[in-house]
Amino acid sequence: MLSCQNLSVEVSSPSSQRILNEVNVSFAAGKLHAIVGPSGCGKTTLVKAMLGLMPHKGRVFLGCEQVRGADDLTGRVGFAPQFSIASPKLTVRECLHYTYCLAVSDKTLERGRIDEVLELIGLAEHADKLVQSLSGGQLRRLGLGQELMLDPPVLVCDEVTSGLDPSSEDVILKLLRQVCDKTGKTVICIIHNLGKLPLFDSVTFVYGGHVLFQGAPDELCAHFGVNSAFDLYGACEQKPLEHWLEKRPAMSEAPQDCPQIPPAKIPAFFEQLTTLLQRRIKLFFRDTGTLILTLLMAVGFPLVVILFAWDGLPQIQQIALSDNNSARMEMMQQTVRYAQEAASLSLLVTGLILFQIVLLGLMASNNGSREIAAERALYEKERLIGVRPSVYAFSKFAFVGLLSLGQALLMTLIVKYVCQFPGSVLWQFLLMWLSTFSMSLVCLGFSAVSASSERSSLLSIYLVGFQLPLCGVILALPKALEWVFRPFINAYWTWGGTFATMKETTLYDAFRFSDNSWIPSPALALGVLVLQGIIGAVWTAKGLSRRRWN
């Protein structure tokens, strides 16, 4: 059913090393297969290479069809990793529901399929429990259940019994035996407990990057001249590897059974997108801590801006909010006092606008920096069942876009109508929203390429922190560096576009009296923010296109 020819895997870091050497194996259809070997021998490497999860040389076959990559196995080979990968805030039934909706286009069989799988994995009475409340053994059974929802003809399990107590281990192995006998599936399982080998139909023994044996469990001990499977590793260490390579039985290099396995029919783009968004929104409202933090920032940050503006509000209302009066301006510009007031007022308003932008940047960092990195394993797992990277990316764009919309709306309306800033509220809202959204997309990019959510969060905070000095509004940059940094500085374009909406007021003239530097129009600023957002989105998509299965 699943086989490989001359399969080799090399790693280039720190030095080129072959960790799997021209392996030829074949796992017969409808059987329960064990893969064993000492730690670091290449068991998991063999499985991941056959599933297309890591670069390799040689050929892999599903039946008689050559497999070009992991996408060829979607819906036809299930992969249950060592630890269950599921959202802890979902219930068991919800996990199975979303797995089915993401991977199976025919929704008419969903309810019956869920009930059938719950009974098979022994979690029917725990169907409404949150994943975070399950025991280790129950989590492993849930992981198997998620794969069985797709009803694949081949199921590969990577150490799903490791770390479990003997009773839980027996439950998992009994379940795998039932799956194999009742459904006729081909089940391949990496295990460490050599005492459980009699439960399997065949054993594949991996040692030093080579497959030294593949056959029935009762033939294993005789081949290596030991009385018990527990003596297997010790016997191999007593003689050089070359001895065992010469002694190993001949293994066929051609697929032995060739059942036709049709390609899986996965749901359409918008079906998957709707499912991912529904799940993400449900998780957002179910995670009380994150929800409260987001609301506190969305409402609290505008109030912080007002607090810092409080003493300057009378001055803004007296000078900045009046209509432009050129005669009055010409007269006032003759006095030293006006020059001082203009400088003070421009600094106050400039600072308040930048303060809003930086606080929105912090919210954007919170929106995107952990969004992908924190659930990277879940994404990689669901990519194997047919979730398109483009769908996953768009679901994240939509989610952070909605968050940004609400955050920018609150910031704009609260600050504007308390501080009574002049200018078009529509333009100012669009600029604040695009500022937050584009920064969220860039932070999503960090999240998509970072190895951990902690690293992504740190990089995102640094990005927000450098916005203030590098925008060159409060602290002047050297002239030679202004346009080196400004095209990439979100805060500069948001500030410039927002301030330009006040052009028809004395506030704007007061600023121009003390600073005659170029200020972008709202439309130009909006266009640059859109471009920055596109760059962030492309960067995110690029990071999601690379497989990062660990």
| pLDDT at res. 36 | 93
Task: Indicate whether 139 and 52 sit together in one domain.
Answer: no
| Residue 317: inside a domain | yes
| Closest C-alpha among 150, 234, 230 to residue 195 | 230
| Residue 264: inside a domain | no
CA 394, CA 477: separation in Å to the nearest integer?
A: 37
Task: Indicate whether 12 and 141 sit together in one domain.
Answer: no
Task: Indicate whether 142 and 12 sit together in one domain.
Answer: no
For the chain, give the mean pLDDT.
Answer: 86
Task: Indicate whether 96 and 69 sit together in one domain.
Answer: no
φ/ψ region of 440 (left if φ > 0, alpha if ψ in -120 to 50, else beta) reads alpha
For residue range 408-422, list pLDDT tens digits in order: 999 999 988 887 778
| Residue 53: inside a domain | yes
For residue 323, the 8-state DSSP code is: B
| Residue 458: inside a domain | yes
| pLDDT at res. 514 | 66
Evaluate if residue 200 carries a pLDDT over 90.
Answer: yes
- C-beta of residue 445 within 8 angstroms of C-beta of residue 543: yes
Mean per-residue pLDDT, 386-390 = 94
Evaluate if residue 321 carries a pLDDT over 50.
Answer: no
| Residue 468: inside a domain | yes
Task: Indicate whether 298 and 412 sit together in one domain.
Answer: yes
Task: Indicate whether 50 and 168 sit together in one domain.
Answer: yes
The neighbour count for residue 278, using CB atoms within 10 Å, is: 13
Task: Indicate whether 371 and 459 sit together in one domain.
Answer: yes
Mean per-residue pLDDT, 352-377 = 92
For residue range 111-132, list pLDDT tens digits in order: 899 999 999 999 999 999 999 9
* CATH number of the domain encompassing residue 181: 3.40.50.300
Q: Of 146, 168, 190, which marks where a domain is finished?
A: 146
| Residue 211: inside a domain | yes
Evaluate if residue 310 carries a pLDDT over 50.
Answer: yes
| pLDDT at res. 494 | 94
What percent of the chain has a predicted confidence (pLDDT) above 70?
A: 88
User: Any idea which of 356-370, 409-423, 436-450 has the lowest mean pLDDT?
Assistant: 409-423
For residue range 139-168, list pLDDT tens digits in order: 999 999 999 998 899 999 988 888 888 888
Full residue range of the structural domain in which residue 93 is found: 88-146
Task: Indicate whether 302 and 195 sit together in one domain.
Answer: no
- C-beta of residue 401 within 8 angstroms of C-beta of residue 439: no
Task: Indicate whether 207 and 307 sit together in one domain.
Answer: no
Domain count, the chain: 3
| Residue 253: inside a domain | no
Task: Indicate whether 114 and 193 sit together in one domain.
Answer: no
For residue range 218-260, list pLDDT tens digits in order: 899 889 988 888 988 888 888 888 888 888 877 655 556 677 7
| Residue 548: inside a domain | no
CA 103, CA 74: separation in Å to the nearest integer?
A: 9
Handedness of CA 499, 428, 467, 350 (dihedral sign): positive
Q: Of 103, 130, 146, which marks where a domain is finished?
A: 146
Per-residue pLDDT band at 267 (split at 50, 70, 90): very high
Task: Indicate whether 376 and 522 sit together in one domain.
Answer: yes
Task: Indicate whether 292 and 414 sit together in one domain.
Answer: yes
pTM here is 0.89
What percent of the chain has a predicted confidence (pLDDT) above 90?
A: 50
